[in-house]
Amino acid sequence: KRHPCGSFEWEVVRLGADIGLRCRSCRRRVLLVRGTLEKRLVAFVSRGEPIDPEKERLIFRQDGLGV
């Protein structure tokens, strides 16, 4: 769905029960319930590279989000 700034492109910044999206034009963030995003999604522009599980664990530890 188009953002008020006019952009159609979003970047996924968080995955979970809610999906965090960032507008690629103005960089604003929004959270959507997974089901809502699935209904609104039209296409993927590109996919990022998968994160190495060990690096992901280190990131979460540094942010205080992991064990």
pLDDT tens figures, 4-52 = 898 888 888 888 888 899 988 899 999 999 888 888 888 877 777 777 7
Question: Which pLDDT score, from 0 to 100, does residue 63 have?
Answer: 54
Question: Which pLDDT score, from 0 to 100, does residue 46 have?
Answer: 78
Domain membership flag for residue 58: yes
Q: Into how many domains does the chain fold?
A: 1
**Domain range for residue 56?**
10-63
Question: Which pLDDT score, from 0 to 100, does residue 64 have?
Answer: 53
Ordered DSSP codes for 4-67 = TTS---EEEEE-SSEEEEEETTT--EEEEEHHHHHHH----S--PPPPPHHHHHHHHHHHT---
Domain membership flag for residue 4: no
